[in-house]
């Protein structure tokens, strides 16, 4: 698709007024969306208004609708909930209420509305838009506005963003708030697991989701729960017996705890509710296990938004303003949504209708249809959960006589253990024997290899680092010894989980096939590194956890800087030569600048940044945050930049520096990394099985083609297997980064939100897509 880049400079908001409101239940990340709408609106010279208290404020008018400035949205990025308030509003459901709301908007010349809420809020907005011209005519008849105003404000443009922790809106991979709600749930589950282990207890956890089981399903996947109840997929008749058998089998396998997750809207196949108390009573009566219920409630809505939600909401907010600027009277109301890592626009009512279809299917007992309508991502989550949670009896498993080895290579990354667990369990389900290699290729050469079973990987999803152990050593040094070990242990396939070293290792193994027939087996790379610098994938496992660690630290540092006033912090992040962590960390933490290797900078730019901060100190926001990638420039080091800022800022601001270091590699994996690791690894093992069948000839595996050494990566909207040989041309081996990186397109976003003039390519924006047209394969920037 060759097209000329389209830049938004041509889009001016001069003379336009945009209002933003949040409505319905609150969700973490709404403030990031509000901030992005306000700043992007002001950036394009539009007037921007807050509408406080949702539709209620629109109906009441007065002080509820106020014009805002750049500083009005300072320091709200890291705050949960919504600072402009949200309320359920009965009057807006009546025509009189909407008439009053229209009058309040017209008085201020507002004809562009950005609504952040659930499907109810968005449906209300669409009705308001359809009635708009009729409402204005009625106001003119009543003498409240003149004919000139009817003509001038003839059309109302509406753009929606979905803020809902339930992720219950069709057409979007992830709604604002879902990832943060998962963070809250997983924090609680991790805490409960330690106490449950101590006492050999069973815990029944009730999570939100009256009509949608997304939170329950994904948290069950992320913590390896024993059983999950969701509204879309009721258990079969006799589930009580099956569940109790499963729980007692797990106890017999020396598992000291059981976790059962119940969505608040869970039902059985007769549409009768399944409550957490009912499940608890059942376990106690039948098994006599010590059982406790924990209802998470509104904890899930609270707390600070995750890095993912902040970036998602910031991108959507900017996209929403672009959509409003480009809207014509004929454009249908649209929602800005995410598909893979791309922002897309979808007709609002198509999404709402599809969302209502799901509910209808569930009410009528068409549960398989409901799961399908929820989308590909939901369906995949369910299938992966079923695959990994229930071990079939040995007699029912196929026997392939293939041995598959799994190893970690490179630096540790959160989510590696989840990937190993999924590989072991899916591999066993496929009928293979799975071998774990300790300490990467170095351990492989030394024969540190052992068979690993289903129970050995229990509880691994929530563990950080690499349990198998990992080394950066490449196989080239040990080719002969590794070939010996592969022959001795009869290894028929390899799964290599790791970063750039994993990619390089597999290239070396492929090149060594000419000399060693042992390497003529299917080999799959699962990218896992915090640096996100592996070619062939937009996301690597571990990046999300590292990003959250950076953002959490930046929040604390910003708080400290706000207290002392007139202080600028220089923060150094990891990432090798890849600026992903610095750039995305800056976007999620609301930084003023991010120095990265991919975008060369000189002393003039450093000077401009200092002047920019000097200007900022004259406003009410008297603090600054600057991120620097560790290898962005060999001469402009963190110390140099710190000293330069300290000297140039004398008398205006003082400076502090902070090197984040290895804390970015540690910590428990985020929900995203647990799930991404689980799903990508399960898919990789299924590919290995397929390749083993294809390449098995005359009693042995013989795989010698390029497509038998692949890397599984996420590209835009799909998970794809790519031969590592083909990825060579896309790679800068000197700096260990891909030659093209998708996230560089988001760089101007950070600059705009920090008040820099810049140019932003919006070629990918603007086309209104249709819900049904979204690729069925779309696997997600979501989980």
Q: Is 166 tagged catalytic?
A: yes
347: which 2 tokens? Answer: 């007709």
CA angle 106, 109, 112 (to 5 degrees): 95
Contact 576, 533 (CB under 8 A): yes
Give me the numbers of helices (H) and strands (E) for the chain, helices first please. Answer: 24, 27
Which ranges in 477-524 belong to alpha helices (H)?
479-488, 500-511
As a 3-state breakdown, the chain gives helix, strand, coil percent values, each rounded to 5, of 45, 20, 35
Rounded to whole angstroms, the Cα distance separating 712 from 172 reads: 23
Which of 327, 14, 310 has its CA nearest to residue 174? 310
Tell me the chain's radius of gyration from C-alpha atoms. 27
Question: What DSSP element (H or E) covers 220?
Answer: helix 214-223
Contacts of 183 (CB under 8 A, 6+ apart): 303, 306, 548, 670, 671
Annotated catalytic residue, options 26, 166, 544, 673: 166
Contact 29, 180 (CB under 8 A): yes
Beta bridge partners of 337: 344
716: which 2 tokens? Answer: 């835009």
Question: What DSSP element (H or E) covers 527?
Answer: strand 523-527
Contact 743, 584 (CB under 8 A): yes
Which of 561, 584, 753 has its CA nearest to residue 664? 584
What residue ranges in 6-94 does DSSP mark as E strands?
17-22, 47-51, 65-67
Please report the DSSP string for 730-776 in residue order: GEETTTTEESS-GGGGGHHHHHHHTT-----B-TTS-PBP-GGGS-T
Say how many residues make up the chain: 783
Q: Enumerate the active-site residues.
A: 166
């Amino acid at each position: 698709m060759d097209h000329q880049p389209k830049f938004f400079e041509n889009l001016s908001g001069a003379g336009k007024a945009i209002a933003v409101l949040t409505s319905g239940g609150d969700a973490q990340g709404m403030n990031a969306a509000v901030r992005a709408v306000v700043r992007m609106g002001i950036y394009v010279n539009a007037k921007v208004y807050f509408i406080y208290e949702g539709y209620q404020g629109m109906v009441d008018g007065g002080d509820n609708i106020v014009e805002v400035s750049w500083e009005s949205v300072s320091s709200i990025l890291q705050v949960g909930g919504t600072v402009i308030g949200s309320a359920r509003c009965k009057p807006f459901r009546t025509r009189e209420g909407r008439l009053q709301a229209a009058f309040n908007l017209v008085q201020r010349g507002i004809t562009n509305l950005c609504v952040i809420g659930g499907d109810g809020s968005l449906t209300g907005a669409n009705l308001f838009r359809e009635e708009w011209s009729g409402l204005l005519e009625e106001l003119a008849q009543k003498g409240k506005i003149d004919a000139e105003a009817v003509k001038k404000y003839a059309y109302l443009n509406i753009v929606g963003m979905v803020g809902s922790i339930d992720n219950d809106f069709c057409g979007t991979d992830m709604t604002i708030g879902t990832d943060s709600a998962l963070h809250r749930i997983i924090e609680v589950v991790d805490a409960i697991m330690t106490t449950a282990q101590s006492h050999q207890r069973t815990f029944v956890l009730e999570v939100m989701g009256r009509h949608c089981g997304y939170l329950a399903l994904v948290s069950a996947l992320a913590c390896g729960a024993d059983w999950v109840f969701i509204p879309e997929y009721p258990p079969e008749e006799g589930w009580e017996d099956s569940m109790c058998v499963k729980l007692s089998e797990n106890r017999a396998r020396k598992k000291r705890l059981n976790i059962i997750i119940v969505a608040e809207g869970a039902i059985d196949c007769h549409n009768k509710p399944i409550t957490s108390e009912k499940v608890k009573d059942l376990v106690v009566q039948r098994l006599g296990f010590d059982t406790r219920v924990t209802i998470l409630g509104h904890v899930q809505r609270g707390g600070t938004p995750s890095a993912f939600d902040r970036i998602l909401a910031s991108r959507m907010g900017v996209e929403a303003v672009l959509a409003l600027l480009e809207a014509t009277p004929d454009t249908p109301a649209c929602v800005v949504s995410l598909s893979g890592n791309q922002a897309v626009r979808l007709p609002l009512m198509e999404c709402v209708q599809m969302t209502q279809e799901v509910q209808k299917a569930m009410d009528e007992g068409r549960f398989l249809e409901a799961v399908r309508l929820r989308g590909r991502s939901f369906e995949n989550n369910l299938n992966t959960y079923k695959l990994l949670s229930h071990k079939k009896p040995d007699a029912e498993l196929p026997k392939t006589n293939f041995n598959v080895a799994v190893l970690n290579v490179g630096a540790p990354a959160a989510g590696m253990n989840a990937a190993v667990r999924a590989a072991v369990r899916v591999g066993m389900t496929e009928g293979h024997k799975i071998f774990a290699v300790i300490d990467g290729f170095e351990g492989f050469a030394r024969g540190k290899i052992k068979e690993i079973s289903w129970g050995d990987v229990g509880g691994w999803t929530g563990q950080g680092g690499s349990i198998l152990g990992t080394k950066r050593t490449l196989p080239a040094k040990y080719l002969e010894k590794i070939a010996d070990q592969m022959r001795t242990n009869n290894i028929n396939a390899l799964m290599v989980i790791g970063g750039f070293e994993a990619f390089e290792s597999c290239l070396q193994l492929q090149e060594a096939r000419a000399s060693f027939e042992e390497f003529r087996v299917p080999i799959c790379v699962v990218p896992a590194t915090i640096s996100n610098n592996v070619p062939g994938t937009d996301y690597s496992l571990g990046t999300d956890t590292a990003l959250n660690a950076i953002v959490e630290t930046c929040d604390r540092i910003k708080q400290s800087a706000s207290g002392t006033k007139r202080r600028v912090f220089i923060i150094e992040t990891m990432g090798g030569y890849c600026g992903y962590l610095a750039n995305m960390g800056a976007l999620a933490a609301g930084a003023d600048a991010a120095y990265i290797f991919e975008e060369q900078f000189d002393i003039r730019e450093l000077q401009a940044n200092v002047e920019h901060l000097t200007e900022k100190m004259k406003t009410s926001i008297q603090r600054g945050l600057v991120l620097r990638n560790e290898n962005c420039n060999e001469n402009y080091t963190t110390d140099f930049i710190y000293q330069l800022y300290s000297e140039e800022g004398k008398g205006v601001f003082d400076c502090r520096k902070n090197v984040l270091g290895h804390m970015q590699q540690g910590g428990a994996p985020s929900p995203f990394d647990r799930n991404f690791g689980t799903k990508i690894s399960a898919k990789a093992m299924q590919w290995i099985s397929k390749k083993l069948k294809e390449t098995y000839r005359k009693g042995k595996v013989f795989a010698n083609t390029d497509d038998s050494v692949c890397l599984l990566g996420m590209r835009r909207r799909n998970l794809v297997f790519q031969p590592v040989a083909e990825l060579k041309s896309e790679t800068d081996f000197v700096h260990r980064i891909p030659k093209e990186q998708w996230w560089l397109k988001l760089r101007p976003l950070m600059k705009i939100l920090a008040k820099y003039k810049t140019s932003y390519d919006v070629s990918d924006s603007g086309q209104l897509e249709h819900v049904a047209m979204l690729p069925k394969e779309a696997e997600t920037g979501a989980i």
